[in-house]
Amino acid sequence: MKKLDRHIGMTVLTAMLVVMIVISFLDTLFGFMAQLDAIRANYQLPEVMRYMLLTTPKRIYEVIPVAALIGCLSGLGSLANHSELVVMRAAGVSLVRIGWSVMKPAIVLMLIGLILSEYISPVTDQMAETGRKIARSADGHYSDEGLWHREGNEYLYFNAVEPNGVLYGINIFRFDDHKLQESIYAERALSQGDHWILEGVEASQFHDDKVESRVAATETWQTSLTTTLLKVVVMKPENLSISGLYTYINYLQKQGLDSGEYKLAMYKKALQPAAIFALVLIGMSFVFGPLRAVSMGLRLFSGVITGVTFMIIQNLMGPASLVFGFSPFVAVLVPILVCFAVGAVLLKRAG
């Protein structure tokens, strides 16, 4: 029986990995073509190649659920086409036993996704985005692709954060009773632990009847933003780790700011293992149910349609939860539960 488990598991795992590599390659190719249109300043072909290489872990992570579904259909479909599944069932092997053998490769993909999303992708994505923004700026310090952030009565704008805790292109706007009191621009900021040192400072203070300006080589900046939080701020929510999202959600709530977008990204990442299992269950139900006697091409086509439909529904319900005010957790969980229910019903009928 162990040989049977190993045979099913290796067949399905190989198919899943091949599909994951193929989809990731196509996604990277299309991404590379899109980046060619963004070439300017110091952001040339070598920088584009570096950017694509560093964002590869994120691309792999994003296609894992669909790769698991299509790989399951391909691997089990191959066994079905060679009548191996018929022989297994005739020998008394239950669907539960076969299903557990199929789920083992899904666990491998789940672990790959966990490692990529928590430990590799957040680091490489930050390196990629920081390098891209700085290279695309004319002077290497400032770009029009920066981000805004609010801290109390201060509105902050900065272009990029290097992994070692260096900020570029900082704008600080301080308000009091909805009136602009001071604006500060600095070319660069260096973290000193409990405070920051601004370099190349140009500041203006606004009074009722006059404006005072000052220029300084360096200046101290007191802020509650740490290098860890700033690394989170400059990244898109979907590019952050679960731990990074959780930390920033707590920070936003303490500041009285909306954290819905980051909660949505956190739930998507946290529930991805469940999504993988649900889609693999759907794949199994197709092979043992309505698609057991069709060609491999039709199975793969059905897998692509199902995977794309799942992603579209989840991507629609997520933003809808932010607009209409229901829980992002529910928005992420409902498509997964639907897949579980459909897969369980089809497998029960097949059994």
Distance CA 189, CA 195 (A): 10
Distance CA 168, CA 160 (A): 6
Three-state DSSP at 213 gives strand
Q: Is the pLDDT of residue 11 over 90?
A: yes
Distances (CA, A) of 211 to 33, 151, 183, 334: 48, 24, 11, 55
Q: Is the pLDDT of residue 291 over 70?
A: no
Whether the CB-CB separation of 122 and 239 falls below 8 Å is answered with yes
In terms of average pLDDT, the best of 6-20, 141-155, 162-176 is: 6-20
Under the banding of pLDDT at 50, 70 and 90, the label for residue 141 is very low
- DSSP secondary structure string for all residues of 47-115: HHHHHHHHTHHHHHHHHHHHHHHHHHHHHHHHHHHTTHHHHHHHTT--HHHHHHHHHHHHHHHHHHHHH
Q: Is the pLDDT of residue 294 over 80?
A: no
Question: Does the CA dihedral 173-178-179-181 come out positive or negative?
Answer: negative
Q: Is the pLDDT of residue 164 over 80?
A: no
pLDDT the model gives residue 85: 82
Phi-psi region of 209 (alpha: psi -120 to 50; beta: other; left: phi over 0): alpha
Report residue 15 as tokens.
Answer: 């198919």
Whether the CB-CB separation of 293 and 273 falls below 8 Å is answered with no
Q: Give the residue, 226 or 213, on which the prediction is more confident.
A: 213
Q: Is the pLDDT of residue 304 over 80?
A: yes
